[in-house]
Amino acid sequence: MTSRYHIPTELAPAPFIYPAKFRLGEGDEYVKYGHRALRPGRRGGDPYWTLQIITQTWYQAETGHIPISGAGYGGAFAGSDFDSIWLDMSEIVRPTRDGIHGREYISTAIDLGRKLPSLEFDPAGDLACRLPPLLEIPLPVLFNPLPLPTPGRGARLAVVRATARLDTFAFVEPEGWGEDLVPFAAHIAPRLSAIPSDDVWEILKGSQLVELVFNKGGMPLWEEVKALRPEAIVSLGLPLARGVEEQVEELVRAGAEVVHLYADDYGCEEEANHPRHIVEALRLDEEQLNGGYFAPFTADDWRLIRPYLEENERLFGISIEMLLTVDGQVGAPERVYRKVVATQLKVLT
């Protein structure tokens, strides 16, 4: 990014009378975590989309305030699923002063696409390999189609307008396309499950990102789209499920540039008897260690790696204390590090 990314905000009051009043104390701001959402007696939501989450998001959208909701804090307001993720960015430079609401700028940009493991140069020093297409977006957020049908096209158009303002992309399925989206075509990623009609092909000609709903016969469509738009990034979307790791690896080996794993509306695996939340499903466990296993981190292990960390501190200025700091406190090595024991393999020659 050539400049600091900033999202301007402004008040956006609801154009209708509230169906219920927020429970606010004098001088209070509902963006703070842990407050009762509504006055006693009000009910709604479900075990996942609770009243608190719905009304909190609603209030934040109206005010544009930074949500102060724990950021993975492990104390009284921590929870399961997304609330278990530690998003603390306060250890960068000033752990007790700035944090995520302070003066330390942290890039949120991500790259979409494949990257070469190494670069090759000719004797003259010029690049001798072809770089694959790469797409940078300033915020790791892409917008899915709306999960529920809505009257008219106002909500769909609002999502696409927000996408353009944020300089990211919205996935649009062929049946959702309309002439009112033409001004925002540069921020639309067509999502296809079959060879599209001629009018959708026209959309593809200007697309930087295209997504294919993957099935086992989907690679020919991938090749057809890449032939039409070789400079575009083509993503393959498939449901999050147990054993999906092998399928992702197979797709990457076949040339996939981006693999997009879908969870359901509750953030869980689809079509599973005991679905895992996406946080758990993507978290490393022993089933993903190729025969390895977790073992206790001992004092002998610390004595082994500490000289390397001290050399790392000398070379790069990253102190051991900083590496052992979690949630603003220095922890014992055995509580910070995890030890993985690799499996013993017999090499065939």
Asked if pLDDT for residue 254 goes beyond 60, the answer is yes
Q: Which two tokens stand for residue 86?
A: 């530690």
Listed by start position, the domains of the chain span 111-283, 293-341
The rounded distance, in Å, linking the Cα atoms of 109 and 211 is 20
Asked if pLDDT for residue 316 goes beyond 90, the answer is no
From 166-175, 196-205, 209-218, the region with the lowest mean pLDDT: 196-205
Fold of 111-283: pyruvate-formate lyase- activating enzyme (3.80.30)
Asked if pLDDT for residue 1 goes beyond 50, the answer is no
Asked if pLDDT for residue 95 goes beyond 50, the answer is no
Q: Is the dihedral of CA 144, 3, 110, 115 positive or negative?
A: positive
Q: How many CA within 13 A on the CB side of residue 14? A: 11
The rounded distance, in Å, linking the Cα atoms of 210 and 258 is 10
Percent of the chain at pLDDT > 70 equals 69
Res 288: pLDDT: 63
The Cβ of residue 137 has, within 10 Å, a number of other Cβ atoms equal to 19
- Please give the full DSSP string across 63-111, using - where no structure is assigned: H-PPPBS-TT--STT--SGGGG-----TTSS-TTTTGGGSS------EE
Query: Which residues on neighbouring strands pair with residue 294, listed in sequence order?
Result: 340
Query: For residue range 136-162, what is the model confidence (pLDDT) as tens digits?
Result: 999 899 999 988 888 899 999 999 999
Are 260 and 237 in contact by the 8 Å Cβ rule? The answer is yes
Res 92: pLDDT: 46
Main-chain dihedrals φ then ψ at residue 201, nearest 5 degrees: -60, -35
Mean pLDDT along residues 91-110: 58
* Between 199 and 11, the higher pLDDT residue: 11
Query: For residue range 255-310, what is the model confidence (pLDDT) as tens digits?
Result: 889 999 988 888 888 776 778 888 877 776 656 666 677 777 888 889 999 999 99
| Planar angle of CA 163, 167, 169, nearest 5 degrees | 50
The rounded distance, in Å, linking the Cα atoms of 290 and 252 is 18
